């Protein structure tokens, strides 16, 4: 039977694919079905047909999988913020570990490495310390909102429908952030709606209000509010800063990032501080970190501590080692390891992150870390003496081939590779497998209710 677009089939979901979709087969042909989980029995409709696979949506759930639970959030199934709320947490952890194993096998051709059980997140709601909400002049409606004439469809402040740049849901409460964040979100929405400045149109590229970014300090229970606007106009934004700081003592920093770029990225070309200082402080382990609006900081603070403990353990430090920390961000890993090593050199390309890393060292009275600003591909050559341990924590795209080659040539005995993307982890370590043994991999869940997984690999030179 040839699979056809728009056709409806009755299926049982048998597997979970990377990307968080359920998998079934009809006459041996693979179909990915969004918002399903193994053991679902469902009617599905094909929405896309390619040469080797098809994609489908659920039409009717005939009998639900025992792994399904009632999602706590009203936007579940529609919002791209998290797509796995309907799957019980224990199962999420299993699927994530399986993604790591599958990536190693299929992409890296590596099948003999122990992959430990996923370490769960200590919090599985309210775990994010940073949220970005988009503004839009067209609100995307939930099915039960369609046809409701009381709804103002000309304004939205919220999160995107998965994979879309212009479909923004108007979100009143997000379970991934602490409760006060939702109050700030709703007060900001009310303010923006009554303001004289128009909301941004994601198709017209006109309008003033673009994004609201909230940062939360888990340890100190404090907030930074960052409004991203398309132009500078302090008369308009200052009253919002005043309102929020007067109402919530926890809001200790309000900044305004200004961007003329059409790209959907909540980073400004420059920043104005409207209240307090342009930073907040959070704590990982026994270290304090100052975080500015545009710096990288792990989004799950308690999860970061669990992750860095694994890194420390895999690095096997005794106090006498030299360490290189590649992709060092705001220096969090270097600082976390500073008490266990002789000397640590970080390399990072974003200037504000390097400055934050240096400030964070000073703040924590650390004198054995230094940071180089530059692209790893070029700056790695500045590390002239072979370090005892290499810690690598690249972005989702993984390492550039030329970086992998330089790392192999450097010949460090021990490598700890921290990855937020099992596919590029598998690709990169397979490029190194003639020179390094992969001894073990520890998945750490930093992002409950999403299919994303962080993993730490321990490598040793052959
Ligand atoms: N280790 C840090 C940050 C990891 S995120 C932590 O745990 O918080 C990855 C970092 O790599 C980001 O800070 C990003 O700015 C940086 N980065 C990405 N590509 C880079 C490159 N080619 N050269 C140097 N740094 C890079």
Q: How far apart are CA 32 and CA 16, in angstroms?
A: 9
Probe residue for ligand 1, chosen from 130, 265, 296, 312 as the CB with the greatest number of ligand atoms within 8 Å:
296
Fold match, 1-66 / 130-283: yes
Residue 395 CA, closest ligand 1 atom number: 9
For ligand 1, the distance from its centroid to the CA atom of residue 49, given in whole angstroms, is 37
Confirm or reject: Cβ of 454 under 6 Å from ligand 1.
Answer: no
Counting ligand 1 atoms within 8 A of each CB, the residue from 284, 310, 329 with the most, and so the one to mutate, is: 329
* 462 C-alpha to ligand 1 centroid (Å): 27
User: What's the fold here for domain 130-283?
Assistant: OB fold (Dihydrolipoamide Acetyltransferase, E2P) (2.40.50)
Q: Kindly report, residue by residue over 224-272, the tens digit of the pLDDT.
A: 999 999 999 999 999 999 999 999 999 999 999 999 999 888 899 999 9
pLDDT on residue 19: 80
State the alpha helices, DSSP H only, in 169-292: 179-194, 234-247
Exactly one of 73, 79, 361, 420 is catalytic; name it.
420
Rounded to whole angstroms, how far apart are CA atoms 181 and 244?
11
Neighbours of 159 (CB within 10 A): 24
Find residue 283's DSSP bridge partners: 288
Q: Where are the alpha helices (DSSP H) in 195-287?
A: 234-247
CA–CA separation, 369 and 359 (whole Å): 11
Nearest CA to ligand 1 atom 10: 327
Residue 350 Cβ contacting ligand 1 at under 6 Å = yes
Token reading at 251: 């809001």
CA distance linking residue 388 with residue 351, whole number of Å:
26
Dihedral, CA atoms, 309, 310, 313, 314, nearest 10 degrees?
A: -150
Homologous superfamily (CATH) for 1-66: Nucleic acid-binding proteins (2.40.50.140)
Residue 226: which of 217, 214, 236 has the closest Cα?
A: 214
Number of separate helices (H) and strands (E) present in the chain = 9, 21
The DSSP bridge pattern shows strands 53-63 and 130-136 to be unpaired
Per-domain residue ranges of the chain: 1-66, 90-123+300-461, 130-283
DSSP state for residue 15 in the 8-state scheme: E
395, 418, 420: which to mutate for ligand 1, most atoms within 8 A of CB? 395
Return the CATH architecture of domain 90-123+300-461.
3-Layer(aba) Sandwich (3.40)
List all residues 6 or more positions away from 421 whose beta carbon is below 8 Å from its beta carbon: 396, 397, 398
For residue 430, give the 3-state DSSP assignment: helix
pLDDT for res 2: 84
Query: How are strands ordered across the β-sheet holding 222-229?
Result: 156-158, 130-136, 209-217, 222-229, 251-258, 270-276
Express each pLDDT in 177-198 by its tens digit.
Answer: 999 999 999 999 999 999 999 9
pLDDT at 125: 96
Ligand 1 site, residue 393, Cβ cutoff 6 A: yes
| Torsion 400-96-412-359 (CA) sign | positive
420 a catalytic residue: yes
Nearest atom within ligand 1 for CA of residue 350: 15
C-alpha distances in angstroms, 36 versus 29, 65, 169? 17, 9, 22
Question: How many whole angstroms from 299 Cα to the centroid of ligand 1?
Answer: 14
State the distance from the centre of ligand 1 to the C-alpha of 328, rounded, in angstroms.
6
H-run or E-run covering 153? none
Atom of ligand 1 nearest to the CA of 298: 8
Quick check: helix, strand or coil at residue 236?
Answer: helix
CA of 375, closest atom in ligand 1: 23
Task: Provide the residue-wise pLDDT of the chain in tens; the chain has 462 residues.
Answer: 688 899 999 999 999 998 889 999 999 999 999 999 999 999 999 999 999 999 999 999 999 999 999 999 999 989 988 899 999 999 999 999 999 999 999 999 999 999 999 999 999 999 999 999 999 999 999 999 998 889 999 999 999 998 888 899 999 999 999 999 999 999 999 999 999 999 999 999 999 999 999 999 999 999 999 999 999 999 999 999 999 999 999 999 999 999 999 988 889 999 999 999 999 999 999 999 999 998 889 999 999 999 999 999 999 999 999 999 999 999 999 999 999 999 999 999 999 889 989 999 999 999 999 999 999 999 999 999 999 999 999 999 999 999 999 999 999 999 999 999 999 999 999 999 999 999 999 999 999 999 999 999 999 999
Annotate 376-405 with b (16+ C-beta within 10 A) or e (fewer): beebbeebeeebbbbbbbbeeebbeeebbe
Nearest residue (CA) to ligand 1, atom 1: 328
Task: Check pocket membership of 333 for ligand 1, CB cut-off 6 A.
Answer: yes
Compute the distance between CA of residue 179 and CA of residue 198 in angstroms, rounded to an integer.
27
Whether residue 328 has its Cβ less than 6 Å from ligand 1: yes
395 Cβ closer than 6 Å to some ligand 1 atom: yes
Does 332 contact ligand 1 (Cβ within 6 A)?
Answer: yes
Q: Cβ(296) to ligand 1 under 6 A?
A: yes
Q: What is the pLDDT of residue 264?
A: 86
Whether residue 375 has its Cβ less than 6 Å from ligand 1: yes
CA proximity to 300, closest of 46, 129, 52, 106: 129
Nearest atom, ligand 1, residue 307 CA: 7
Q: What is this structure's pTM?
A: 0.93
Whether residue 329 has its Cβ less than 6 Å from ligand 1 = yes
* Residues in Cβ contact with 170 at an 8 Å cutoff, skipping those fewer than 6 apart: 139, 155, 156, 157, 158, 189
Give the closest residue (by CA) to ligand 1 atom 22: 375
Q: Rounded to whole angstroms, how far apart are CA atoms 116 and 96?
A: 11
Cβ of 371 less than 6 Å from ligand 1: no
């Amino acid at each position: 039977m040839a699979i056809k677009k728009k056709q409806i089939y009755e299926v049982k979901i048998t597997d979970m694919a990377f990307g968080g979709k359920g998998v079934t087969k009809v006459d041996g042909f693979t179909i990915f079905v969004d918002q399903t989980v193994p053991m679902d029995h469902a009617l599905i409709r094909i929405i896309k047909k390619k040469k080797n696979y098809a994609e489908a949506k659920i039409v009717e759930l005939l009998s639900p999988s025992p792994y399904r639970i009632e999602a706590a959030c009203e936007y579940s199934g529609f919002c791209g913020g998290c797509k796995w709320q309907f799957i019980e947490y224990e199962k999420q952890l299993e699927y994530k570990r399986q993604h790591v194993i599958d990536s190693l096998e299929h992409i890296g051709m590596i099948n003999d490495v122990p992959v430990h059980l996923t370490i769960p997140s200590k919090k599985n709601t309210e775990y994010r310390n940073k949220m970005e909400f988009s503004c839009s002049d067209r609100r995307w409606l939930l099915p039960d909102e369609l046809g409701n004439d009381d709804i103002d469809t000309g304004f939205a402040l919220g999160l995107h429908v998965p994979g879309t740049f212009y479909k923004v849901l108007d979100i009143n409460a997000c379970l991934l952030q602490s409760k006060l964040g939702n109050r700030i979100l709703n007060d900001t929405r009310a303010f923006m709606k009554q303001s004289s400045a128009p909301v941004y149109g994601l198709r017209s590229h006109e309008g003033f209000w673009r994004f609201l970014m909230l940062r939360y300090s888990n340890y100190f229970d404090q907030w930074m509010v960052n409004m991203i606007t398309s132009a500078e106009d302090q008369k308009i934004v200052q009253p919002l800063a005043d309102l929020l700081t007067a109402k919530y003592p926890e809001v200790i920093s309000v900044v305004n990032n200004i961007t003329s770029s059409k790209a959907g990225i909540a980073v400004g070309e420059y920043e104005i501080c409207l209240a307090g200082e342009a930073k907040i402080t959070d704590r990982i382990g026994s270290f304090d970190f100052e975080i500015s609006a545009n710096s990288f900081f792990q989004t799950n603070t308690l999860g970061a501590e669990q992750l860095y403990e694994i890194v420390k353990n895999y690095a096997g430090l005794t106090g006498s080692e030299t360490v290189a920390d590649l992709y060092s961000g705001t220096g969090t890993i270097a600082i976390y390891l500073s008490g266990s090593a002789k000397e640590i050199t970080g390399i990072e390309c974003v200037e504000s992150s390097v400055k934050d890393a240096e400030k964070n060292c000073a703040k924590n009275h650390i004198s054995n870390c230094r940071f180089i600003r530059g692209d790893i591909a070029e700056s790695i050559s500045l590390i002239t003496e072979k370090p005892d341990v290499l810690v690598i924590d690249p972005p989702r795209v993984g390492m550039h081939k030329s970086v992998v080659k330089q790392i192999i040539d450097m010949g460090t005995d021990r490598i700890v590779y921290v990855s937020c993307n099992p596919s590029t982890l598998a690709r990169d370590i397979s490029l190194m497998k003639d020179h390094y043994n992969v001894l073990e991999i520890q998945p750490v869940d930093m992002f409950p209710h999403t299919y994303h997984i962080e993993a730490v690999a321990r490598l040793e030179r052959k």
